[in-house]
Each structure stands twice: as structure tokens, then as C-alpha cells.
Chains A and B, each alone.
Chain A
Amino acid sequence: MENAVVMDRLTKRFGDFTAVDEISMQVKKGEIFGFLGANGAGKTTVIRMLCGLLLPTSGKGSVSGFDIYRDSEKIKQSIGYMSQKFSLYKDLTGQENLRFYGSVYQLSKGDLRRRIDSLAESLDLREFIDRLAGSLPVGWRQRLALAAALLHSPQILFLDEPTAGVDPVFRRRFWEILYRLAEEGTTIFVTTHYMDEAEFCQRISIMHRGRLIEMGNPQELIRKYQQITLQDLFVNLISGKSTDE
């Protein structure tokens, strides 16, 4: 199976501080990959480097087969990105936001209309698509943001804590949507704080203080460390690491 994302000793330093320390890993095509770690572990920095927002200090990396140093603009055409913060325009309606991003992605008028229609259908946006984005509850906003990230049918979707602050019912629906996307062949690279969500992932990696400390299938990892839940595994791994130092 081909790899959608490859990192080879990827490193980012900000002055004396090493935010990301020689991370190496691969994400397979069509995989739902969970990227876990405490706050400040360096997850967002990794995503930003992969999306071409930040230049790495050293190491190699590629996304959809494109080099992150040289081909960042090509990468941008093939990825969808949803950041932690809601980053659509609150003073535009859902429809206006989607049309705007559609034009930025150079979709033709007809394609854009069809695409908005089908996303409105599959993500259940109909009832609020003509309301100002700023007036929507968080769960709806996140679905709208997901629609914007999916407009150009990206091969890889980077989601940085997409369900933070969203209620459990909405979270469940959000994950159903992600599953459907993965079945259709989209690679999903997602960071989260919710361990129940992490268990939905085919593989997870756990990051701590800029380093990768464990990677694998959630169930296998639980067995390997003889833990009962992923939550226990996560807490033990991270606190174990802290006392080591």
C-alpha cells in the first residue's frame, strides 16, 4: 500500500526550543490516523509543516508524494485542512464561505454548485447553510468547516482537534462522516484529545515533548502494555515518560 504521508527525522526548532524532534513515520493511503499527545507536544507544529505552513529545520517529509520543501504549493492542491480554531468567515453565510473557498480552489461554477449541493446533503448542512457562520453552534460550524475543507475533494484531510468543544452527539456524527470519507479513499490525519475517538482510528501515534513515543493499532497497544483502556495507556505512557526525565 502506498503512503500518503511520509516523515523522516522531521525536526522543527524555534530558537533553543525543539518543538518537533526527529519524527519518523508513515501514514497509509485511505487510513484514519490518530495523532495523540498532550497540549504542547508538538502535534500542531507537525501538521503545519506537512501542510506547507511552516518550514522544517531539518529532516525529510512528503505528502501525496510531494516534497514538503519544494512542492508545498502542489501539496496544497491535494489536501484539506481544518485547524483548531474555527477559521471560516463569521460575517459571511455558510453558502458564501463555501463559494469563496470554491473559487480559491479554482472549481468551475458548475462543479462548485454540484459540490456544494452534494456536501450540503452528505454533511447535513441544508438547514443552516444560508445563515451567518458566526451565528451557528459549534457542532454546526465544524461541519461547515469540514465542508469547506472537502470542496476540492482532497486526497488527504488534516484535522487538528476538529471536535474540541463539540457535544458527544455531534462528535459521533462527525466521526461517522470521517469513516465514510475514509471508505471512499480519503486519508485522514487527525489529532484529538478524546480517547474514545482515538479508538476509532486504525492506527495512532503518541507524541510527547516533540518526540514520538509509541505508534500502532489502538487495540494492539492496549494489549502490549496490558492496559484496560486507551485512556489508561495514554496517561501511563506520558506520566512514565515525565518521571524518566
Chain B
Amino acid sequence: MIRTIWALMQKEFHQVIRDRIMLRLIFVAPLIQLLLLGYTANTDVKLIYTAFYDFDQSELSREYIRSFTVGDYFVRRTSDIPLVEATKGFKENKFNAVMVIPVDFSKNIQWGKPGKVGFMVDGTNANSASIALGYANIITSQFNQRVSGFASPVSLGGKILYNPEAKSVYFMVPGIVATLLTVITMMLTCMAIVREREIGTLEQLMVTPITTPALLLGKIIPFALIGFLEMSIALAFGIIWFKIPFVGSWPLLYGLSFLFLFTTLGVGIFISTVVKTQQQAMFFSWFFSLFALMTSGFFTPIANIPKSIQYLTYINPLRYFMKIVRGIIMKGASLDALYPEVAAMVIFGLVVFSFSWIRFSKRVK
């Protein structure tokens, strides 16, 4: 049994190593994805190009504008477009925000009346627009305190935990690690089985006395190992390049990842039992990956998904694993904090894995 599995594994590694294109796909593509996603899937909002229309031209109004432009959130854009045609500036992407300070701004404040300021943001990207508006509010209230000399009765002391700078890359990289492990192990396993069926070598194997467990283990262990290797490369890359603070326990992360593999490998085997060609296998795994990604909380928080669709996320194993990976890496979560997710994941894995195991029979249908 052990010898057969070992022979199968050796064979599988020989094949992976000889297939140069596949080798690159397995090891280089994920790194490029990691880099791309780390930089592009960035939800931080910076460099909001703003046109300031200061009709007051007072010391106070200039001070107010300066408080906006000192950070790197708002960048001043001088505009020769008259205010009435400001929408043109938005359309031509000359600026993303407009601030209008009326003539009576400083006079009103000196008389103790509210100084009204107009602020418009391009809402094409709803997410960044509301974040920009949030920044503007904070800057304004800080400015108020400074000018009026006394603090507002209630001051909100906001603070972001675990990710103090709210850097999205800290959040994205663990997500990518989870995603990589899912897609790689599922897709490679499924493709490796279907390819053998397509070229007829599976039939050849099935007329040998090889047992189903040996056959399946010999097929999935190599890809589980490749999955772990990739996960480690991605993590190392995230820590060294993106400087992700890893605060949790390594053994816990790898242990739970191992449990998670039962699900992805199970799904991979399952797909291989329902499809006939590699194209079908590819399409099926792509479909599953997309579903798993969209409902995992990788991009959008699950709480933001409509209630009815939220129920769908419960049947997505990646949803649990995503929370586990992020919890361990970012918060240093321990097993007792994660046990609902771990339990769900283990149950899911056992069901899927044993179901696929049974479906995969040694006879040709």
C-alpha cells in the first residue's frame, strides 16, 4: 500500500516537473496574483483630487483648506473651470471632489454663526466616495475644535484594532493565501484525475490490483503537498514583501489548513467523478472557485451581502477557512475562539470527502 502510494506520488511529481508550462502556472502565477491583488485590491482611499473654490479668500478659509491638504488624502487641484460648470470637471476626471467656501465663511464664524461649506464627491465608486466624505468630516471637526478653542461636548475617539492603519493589504494577503490553497488543491487534483481518464491511463490502472484508497491517496497527497508549499511561499512573500504582521500560531494555521484540505480535495475528486473531459473539469472548478470566492467574505464582508444570499455562504467551506486564516494571522486567534468555524469546516470536509471517496469507484461507468 505505502509502496504503491509512493510510486504514484513519484510518478505525479515527475509529471509535474516535466510539464514546464504547468510548473510555471503552479508556482509563478500565484505570486503574480499575490502581487497584483496586494496592490490592486486596495480599498484604502488616498489622493482624492479636490478643486477648492474659495470665495472668501480670508485667513480662516485658507487655514481650513490647508488642514485638508496637509495629509496625502486630499490633493489640491487648481481648476480654471467656473463653479457653475464643475460637473464638467467630474466628467473629464479633472478632479474627484469639489469644495466651495462661500464669501461669508469667516464672517459667519467670527459672529458665532455656523460657517457653511459645500463638499461634493464623485460617487462613481460609492465605496471610496463615502470614505472621502468620512475623512472630510473628521478634518472639519478637528478644525472646529482648533478654531473655536473648546472641544465639542461629545468627542468620538475612533480607533481601528488589529490593523491600525486599516491597510487593506493586511486583510487581502491572508485572503489570498486561503484562496490559493482552495483553487490549487481542488483544481490540480481534479485535473490530474480527469486527464488520466481522458488519455486512458486510469483504465490501465484500474485493471491492476491497485486499491481505491491507494489510488486516491497517491493522487491527492502530491497536490496537498504542492498546496502547502504554495501557501508557505505566499505567506513568506506576504510577510517579507508586504510586511504583514503575523501574530498567530503557525502550527495552528497549518493544522487547520490540513483539515481544510479534506474539503477542497473532496470537491476535486467529486468534480472528477461527474465530468468527462478536462475542459468540463476546468469549467466546473472555475465555477466552484468563483462561488467560493464571492461568498467567502474575501472581497465583501458577509454582513454586506443581502440576507437571503447570506444563507448561501453557510454552504461555502472557504467562508469558514477565510475567517480562520485571517483570525490566526491578524488577531492571533486560538482554537477556542475559532471552534464554530473549525467545527463547520471539519463536518463539511468529512461529508464531502467521504461522499466523493464512495463515488470514485474502480469501475468504468
Docked-complex contact A89 and B11, CB < 8 angstroms: yes
Docked-complex contact B6 and A73, CB < 8 angstroms: no
Most A CB contacts (10 A, CB to CB) among B3, B15, B209, B362 go to B209
Interface size bracket, B side: 20 to 34
Docked-complex contact A103 and B207, CB < 8 angstroms: no
Shortest Cβ distance from A158 into B: residue: B207
Segment with Cβ contacts to B, from A48-56, A179-187, A203-211, A216-224: A48-56
Docked-complex contact A106 and B207, CB < 8 angstroms: no
Shortest Cβ distance from A50 into B: residue: B207
Bound form: Cα–Cα A99–B6 in Å:
12
Bound form: Cα–Cα A86–B199 in Å:
8
Docked-complex contact A96 and B209, CB < 8 angstroms: no
Task: Give the residues from 334 to 365 in chain B that come closer than 8 angstroms, CB to CB, to chain A.
Answer: 362-364
Say if the beta carbon of B7 comes within 8 Å of chain A. Answer: yes
Bound form: Cα–Cα A207–B15 in Å:
40
Bound form: Cα–Cα A87–B6 in Å:
20
Docked-complex contact A53 and B363, CB < 8 angstroms: yes
Say if the beta carbon of A100 comes within 8 Å of chain B. Answer: yes
Bound form: Cα–Cα A52–B3 in Å:
23
Report the minimum CB–CB distance from A100 to chain B (whole Å): 5
Report the minimum CB–CB distance from B273 to chain A (whole Å): 16
Docked-complex contact A106 and B14, CB < 8 angstroms: no
Given contacts A83-B203, A88-B201, A91-B14, is CB(A52)–CB(B208) below 8 Å? no
Residues in chain B within 8 A of chain A (CB atoms): 3-4, 6-8, 10-11, 14-15, 18-19, 199-201, 203-210, 362-364
Q: List 28 A-B contacts (CB under 8 A).
A: A53-B363, A53-B364, A73-B209, A76-B207, A76-B209, A81-B204, A81-B207, A83-B200, A83-B203, A87-B199, A89-B201, A91-B14, A91-B15, A91-B18, A92-B11, A92-B15, A99-B7, A100-B8, A100-B10, A101-B208, A103-B4, A103-B6, A104-B7, A105-B208, A105-B209, A106-B3, A106-B4, A106-B209
